[in-house]
Structures are given as C-alpha cells and as structure tokens.
Amino acid sequence: MENTQPIKIKIIIGSTRQGRFSEKPAVWIFEEAKKLKGVDVELLDLRDYPMPFFDDTISPLMAKGNYSNEIVKKWAEKINDADAFIIVTPEYNHGYPAVLKNALDVIYQEWNKKPVGFLSYGGAGGARVIEQLRQVAIELQMVPIRNSIHIPPDIFFSAIKDKGSTDPKEMFKPIRERAFGDPVERFFDELIWWAKILKEARQKNIISE
C-alpha cells in the first residue's frame, strides 16, 4: 500500500548574522515548496535555537538522542520529525558558517537516513560550500542529493541593493527560467524521490545500521 503520509521537509536558515541575506531565498524556497502536493514544509531559523557550541562530554553519536542541553533537545525534536531537509547557506571563505556546522554537529541520529538538498549563494554561486557540506552530510549518514540551487552573483548583488522592496518570488524568478529547464523543479523532484524511498525504508526498518 502506498504511503499517504505527507513528506515533511524542514528548511533551515543557515545564518544568524545581523542583516543576513539568507532570509530572502529561504522564504522564497519555502513558498515554492508549499505548492508541492503531498508535502508538509516548515521553516527553521537557527536564531530560534541559540545552542551553545558543542562542549558536551559525550559525542552526539554516543549520546543516542539523550542530549543534556534543553535547546539542543528542542532542535533534535524538530530534526527528528523531518523526512528531508533544505539547507539555505551563504559561503564564507570557501566554507560554511560556524553556527550552521554547530547545528549539524550537536545531534546525530536525528539526521540519519534522510536526504538533504542545498541552496547557496556567494563566491561561485555557493558551489564550494555545498561541496563541503555534502561531505559533512555523508558523515551524518544523510543522503545529499545531486541537484542544488545556486543564486547567481548578479541576482545576489541585485537583491542586496533591493533592500526588501521586491517580492522574493519576482526576485528569484530568473533562477527557474534557465535555458536547460527549471533547476528548482529538478531539485524538488530529486529531494522528494529520495525522501519517499528513505521514509519507507526507515518505517520498514530495512536500512542497515
């Protein structure tokens, strides 16, 4: 019997700095995801989860879900509820923001056996940070998908100058109008395909530890 439960996608805003740009593409991709059938989408802001930088005596892998910090526990509950993730992140010096890496590191089993896609911007359209995060995701036993969403520098800098006067839907519309088809559609198709496959496998307990 086909699983009729919705696929739960959590979109994570990977920056907490003042005046961050990441809210714009995060809200845009959130609204685009809400249009998908059979999907329940939620936006997670790391500002709402001010977790300490990891300093526990027990590694998250060994903790097996028993985290000592209350905020980390709340974060773990949100991540555990997900079937798939979209991480929206800037590229800082060829890498990821420390606050995002910490949010990935403070828990472990809640990420396991779930797909993740990335939306990024910055140098080289955020390509370098995505390559690094794919390696982190694999170590967390996630499935990083092939397709990603890159915000080109012209749209990025135009959006910064815009200062919020343009609807994000219009601001990022050119990303969906590429010569070789819609990359956002391909991104969602792949993410949801993996989410369905892995959700069924988790429910049937057919994935090896």
Residue 6 DSSP class: P
Angle at 47 between CA 73 and CA 13, to 5 degrees: 95
Range of the domain at 132: 7-203
Whether residue 209 is contained in a domain is answered as no
Residue 192 corresponds to which tokens in the numbers above? Answer: 């949801």
8 torsion bin: left (phi>0), alpha (psi -120 to 50), beta (else): beta
- pLDDT average, residue stretch 128-151: 97
Lowest mean pLDDT among 1-5, 57-61, 64-68, 165-169: 1-5
More confident call, 160 vs 205: 205
- pLDDT average, residue stretch 49-60: 94
Count of domains observed in the chain: 1
Whole-number average pLDDT of the chain = 92
**Phi/psi of residue 111, nearest 5 degrees:** -85, -20
Q: Give the model's pLDDT for residue 3.
A: 62
Whether residue 2 is contained in a domain is answered as no
Q: What is the pTM of this model?
A: 0.93
Residue 123 corresponds to which tokens in the numbers above? Answer: 């140098």
CATH number of residue 178's parent domain: 3.40.50.360
Instruction: Give Cα 125 to chain centroid, integer Å.
Output: 16
Of 159, 184, 176, 167, the residue nearest 21 (C-alpha):
159
Whether residue 1 is contained in a domain is answered as no
Run of H or E including 170: helix 168-171
For residues 47, 49, 53, 54, the Cα torsion angle rounded to the nearest 10 degrees is -150
